[in-house]
Structure 1
Amino acid sequence: MSLLIGACATIFIEKVASDQMTKAMGLTLFVAAKSISNTLANSLNEREREIVLLSQSPLFEEMDLNHPRIQKQLDQVQKSYLYYAWMGIADPEGEVKVAAHQLLEGADVSQRDWFIEGKKQPYIGDVHEAILLAKKVKAIDPEQPLRFIDFAAPIVDAETKTLKGVLAVHADWSWAKSVLESSLTENATKRGVEVFITDKNGELLYPYSGIGKIQPPAYNPQEARHFIHNWGSEQKYLTVNLPVISNTATDLGWHVVIRQPVEIALSEVKSLQYEMYALGLAFALILLFFTYRLARRFSTPIEILARNARLIEKGQQDIDFKTNNSIREIRVLSNALRSMVKTLLLQKQQLQTANENLEHKVNERTAELKAANTELEMLASRDVLTGLKNRRAFNEYIEYLFAQFKRHQQSYSVLMLDIDYFKKVNDKFGHEMGDHVLHQTAEIINQSVRSTDFVARLGGEEFIIILPSTTAKAAFNIAEKIRHQVAQATIISDYVLTLSIGVSEVVNMDELANAAVRRADQALYMAKAQGRNQVVMMNKSAE
């Protein structure tokens, strides 16, 4: 009877300890897998967000793809992230027009998945090899062949709203190795913990050495968070299989799979089990009452530890596994559980810190991109040579002012100005002097109008002025003042420069914002036809 009771007590204690340790170690693997999954997902999100924001910047939407500033921007962005192996822009026909460090420029990528899908929306391509690119770039990890992940996004022309090109990045897949190395402790590796990454079909992506040799178990959403599987071998493994859930436009269907040999994961339980059997045999030799009391002495603290482990599993953190029990095995188990909980809480804190740091970096990068976009937006509305507003800014302002006129009857006048015989200036004095003339003329015009007036250079030697709350007669006088000041200014030594100016005022019968502008342009044409160096005002009945 004593033998039976002792055996039952020993089996009971071993079963409770084994179950709880299995849950605890499974929870440890689950937290590690969750950390890696979140880190991979956050990194994918950050890379896609960076490419999309870059593709939507005014620099890419408005400038020609061959502009040196685009080449410089690509070089800077690639340099900012170690794992960007290639970055470039293909035109709508699939030819690489510009690339960081001019790599693969002129190549035909029209049949590549990233180009086909990237024309429609942001796209992420799964891990693949690229033989041509691998010959031209240096591997970050020389221990494995170069493999890449594609990120792509369409570039839409700011004015025509049509596809301008596809921005693409090939990221070195060795990035995944750095994520795993930063997420796993050295102790976990020593305890036989192995990490694998699979694609949506369950094929192995990482590590490269396991491809074709190791086949992780298929993902089953109905399965427990951790389970025991033999992985096609005689050895059993404690296993966790978690999907990588990102908020990207493309769902790659990756999974993080972690395994640890059961004999290592439950080694402390096995050691305790052998000691329990020996102790149970000794208990069988003493009285039943002593055996019962001794069994209770074993089971009660373990049940408390098990109950505390369940509380930890449910999310409570302020649980202490410390015990004053004099039995060595209970103290060993208690210390093991305390160490395990400490490790879990430390990993959780590290995960939170990593997520906070990553979010901070994402916010910083987003703020930098927004600031750069704001600066580019300002540059996009200015004429580089004269510092005046450009045609784009003028088009936006005239539409706004015309809408105000239609709504509130706030009149305005338009002056169209042109430097007379400007081509002769360029031919005689050179283009550098021509630029000087444009800059000085712009200065005189800008100083001759009010701060509320709008001055822009439309192109070449042609300028336009919008005078809010100004009649055509008052605008005519301002035009004469500008014409006179330019004629009197010594912009070129011993050479007189003159302006021809057309004047028009917006009227109620105008249906389009450009109606008054067209009349001012017609008046300018008449001023030139009548001998130049004069101001002509177009009456509303003369159109």
Structure 2
Amino acid sequence: MKKTIRLSIHWLILGLLTFAMLGTYTGSVISSVVVSKNNLEKNYLIENQYYAQKLAAVTDSLFDNMIKNLTMEARNEELLTNDSRKIHKELDFILQSTTYFNSTFFADKTGRVVASAPDMDLNGTKLTSVGVKSSLEKKVPIISKPYVGVTGKLIMLISVPVFDESGSYKGFLAGTIYLHEDNSLIQVLGQHPKHKNNSYVYVVDSEGNIIYHPDKSRINDNVKENKVVQHVLEGRNGNLEVTNTKGISMLAGYASVTSTSKWGIVSQTPKESVMEPTFEMARQVSLIAILFMLFVFALSLIMLKKIVNPIRNLAFYANQMTTEPSRPAPQIPNWYFELKELKRAILIAVDFYQTKLTNAESESNLDPLTGFYNRRFLERKINDYNMYSIILFDIDHFKAVNDQFGHQTGDEVLKFLSELVKRETRASDLCFRIGGEEFLIILPETDIHITKSVAERIRKTTECTLSPTGKPITVSMGISSFPAAADSFSELMNKTDQALYKAKQEGRNRVVTAVYNKEGRL
């Protein structure tokens, strides 16, 4: 005969506990890493987009201020003289008063430089660059595309036309920005908060050429094949995970600069930068989880012995009680026997009778219509509290509701009000139905001021909520506090009932506090 396999419930529970804790630990670490990584990537994308948009707005404002500055200086009469030294002095003043430009010059209507600053090396030179030609042809404020100037430097030209008093065109006043040197534009673009995550900003012109990059050797590189660059040159704002021209995965946010013919600003963070804080978070989670698990495991071992031994004793006791109570205790039964006997003789029986007992006790304490406690439960419960307040209230003109709509609707109104009161009271508050439409709320450890606030809230909610009659009902309320207002519960109920009666006399739909004068009268 095949030997029956015996399983110890002690080791079975211990094995299940160990498996559950290890599984929980593994799942929590893995889920924390995945969730943290996804959230960090999402946050970096949003932050980079926000920063790119903010930087684009600042850049637009900067160019607008440059144009305004040159426009104001273009009205200076010194520019209409033939004295190049006076003009040089004015141009030098423009450079010294702002950090907008690396150099300034004034050219006549043929494109010949009349004067320049900070030095006068260009005086008399006829300029033929793209920016100069555009300024001479359009005779309007111009922000040129980046180009290589006569100095051999990659520059941008900001120019405004100069007219005399009769409106005749005399040339243009221009400021140049050297994209490899320090100036306001480079300072603004270089303000990205580059932290340990290696985030940085770069800027491309309308052709996809880099015109600003923290690594100056990248300036003038064409990166038009980059998807982010393609999006931003189309005038879009957004964020995207992309692989850059060096094969590095980036979390990029981008925005366009409208004042410069579709410049694009890209703020990006290497994706690998997300992993360091993710692993650090996972390490901290693991450390805390391990310490907590060791504590729980040790506590569980202690509790296991206390729980398992009584179960086995109860199984033996159940077997003895269901067969022959006088019979000596048999050996400990096998695993199946324990489960069958415990479930059949203990759990089923105890649960069955406990349920019946609980239901019977609950039904004897509850009003079947409203679900509130009844007066019988009130008489037993009230002595448990040393300090409490009460709200005594009933429905105004409830007889009219029954007469007009019938008793079935009247019952629906009572249930409606009881549900409303349950929502507006705390879990610790006790609600009672002590009469037909009369209710009582006991608020343990609550002073009269909070009680009045609760009563007013119930009253206002009731008068503003449609009842089963199709329109709101109202309630009148009396409130009081023990032991401040009475020496016994019966005395407190009497005084609160007088306050309720006063609320009725004063027009109903109100809360009245039971306050007594020296003569003891309301």
TM tier, smaller: 0.3 to 0.5
Larger Rg: 2
| Structure possessing the higher relative contact order (Cα contacts under 8 Å, 6 or more residues apart) | 1
Tell me the TM-score normalized by structure 1. Answer: 0.42
